[in-house]
Amino acid sequence: MPEKKVLIIDADVASRNFVSRHFLNQKYEVLQAGSGKEGLIHAWRDRPSLVVIDPTITDISGEELARKLKQDLRSANMLLIALSSDSSAMRVRSCLDAGFSDYIFKSGQAMPVLMETCNRLLGVSVMAVKKGGLLMVFQSPKGGTGTSSICANVAMNILVNQPETRAVVVDLVLPIGSIASIAGYTGPQNIVTVSDLPPEVATPKFFQETLTQVDIWRFSLLAGSPDPESSIHLKSARIADIIAALKAAYDYVIVDIGRSLSRITLPLIQNSDLNALIVSTDIGTVSLTKTVLEYMKGKGVNPASIYAILNRAVGLEGLSKGKAEEALETPIRMALPYLGGNMALANSQHQPFTLKFPKDSASIVLQEAAREMVTMARNLRSEAH
């Protein structure tokens, strides 16, 4: 099946033809359908990678069409984009809840936005199924849960357990990255500067030769935005190509997005081999985590890919592991003990926790978590193929 095949479902012939011309100019194979029923036939028979739908079609509502596509194994992984003149907030929400990856209004600027969105989403989707390094994403619904610290320490322990492998940590926390300050990296290369490079320059070989392996941390680092002003210049459309090149160059691509759940990071979450979700023990964070979990599942994220980590970053108070699991309705696979100021101390000295405090029980937990996460990601990758 061609990697760039799009199905356009729109009752208006002129609109279909207009959209089709833009996709043809981008070397897509284009299919058209004038009704929802015809669209289902094309989707299940021809298996496009993308489906662009005007949700105002009348024989089957756009929302119902999306649900049918997402519930059928033949089309569950197709990327769905709504392109509509209906700009009501209620319609946007109902479409996104039904399974659309994005909602774009028909306007004078619609086509550039549509093409950028489709190329970005398709790029990540294709990247995910190609051979390459395992992709792990670390996130939390709330700041202050220690996501970046856990991400860096798990990455380091993966390489301690498997010294023959190569790993890169990518900092996509916006508007300011945080891994560089933890690992003590001060180099000029970061996600913003790399996103400004053309694809023919930012190749797997380029990353192997230019990214710094950070001393005792063992991993290479693609640092985050150094300041909010720089983050404004991040070319989000390049993220898919960058991650694809890194997957071709490294055995593990470990992405820290912190609480930066957005249109930029959602495709990575949807296509990662493993999603590490950091949860604090306070009720507010657990409630937010529940909302994020429901959102991720609604966006097609495999529940089996979620590796929930309970971190007592705020102290001994708060929910127990059992109570947090009950509230989340999701198993917590690893629980870190309260570390007091030890993690902050290790970070301030740019040292991995397991090297700074090798006899601490948390060091054993981090080492075991690294092994479990690798095994889990490999098993899920095997099942996907």
Residues 6+ apart with CB under 8 A from 95: 55, 62, 63, 66, 82, 84, 103
For residues 190 and 123, membership in a common domain is answered with no
For residues 57 and 144, membership in a common domain is answered with no
Q: Looking at 47-56, 114-123, 159-168, 335-344, which range is the least confident one? A: 114-123
Q: What is the pLDDT of residues 279-321, one digit of tens each?
A: 988 888 899 999 999 988 888 788 999 999 999 865 657 788 8
For residues 152 and 223, membership in a common domain is answered with yes
For residues 107 and 212, membership in a common domain is answered with no
Q: What is the pLDDT of residues 76-118, one digit of tens each?
A: 778 899 999 998 989 998 998 888 888 999 988 899 889 888 8
Q: Read off φ and ψ for residue 328, nearest 5 degrees.
A: -85, -20
Straight-line distance from the first to the last Cα atom of the chain, in angstroms, rounded to the nearest whole number: 16
For residues 107 and 175, membership in a common domain is answered with no
For residues 72 and 209, membership in a common domain is answered with no
Residues 6+ apart with CB under 8 A from 80: 50, 51, 53, 66, 69, 70, 99, 100, 101
**DSSP classification of residue 303:** G
Q: Contact at 8 Å (CB) between 224 and 147?
A: no
- From 91, 109, 127, the end of a domain falls on 127
Per the structure, the count of domains in the chain is 2
For residues 190 and 335, membership in a common domain is answered with yes
For residues 56 and 156, membership in a common domain is answered with no
For residues 80 and 147, membership in a common domain is answered with no
* pLDDT grade for 27, boundaries at 50, 70 and 90: confident
As a 3-state breakdown, the chain gives helix, strand, coil percent values, each rounded to 5, of: 50, 15, 35
Q: Contact at 8 Å (CB) between 28 and 5?
A: yes
CA distance 262 to 225: 16
For residues 183 and 215, membership in a common domain is answered with yes
For residues 40 and 165, membership in a common domain is answered with no
> Judging by DSSP bridges, how do beta strands 212-213 and 220-222 pair with one another?
antiparallel
For residues 113 and 141, membership in a common domain is answered with no
Q: Contact at 8 Å (CB) between 286 and 319?
A: yes
- From 100, 127, 154, the end of a domain falls on 127
Tokens matching residue 105 = 């209004």
- From 66, 99, 127, the end of a domain falls on 127
Structural domain containing residue 315: 133-384
> Domain holding 192: CATH number?
3.40.50.300
Q: DSSP characters for 52-96?
A: EE-TT-SSS-HHHHHHHHHHSTTTTT-EEEEEES---HHHHHHHH
CA distance 235 to 197: 10
pTM value is: 0.72
> Domain holding 48: CATH number?
3.40.50.2300
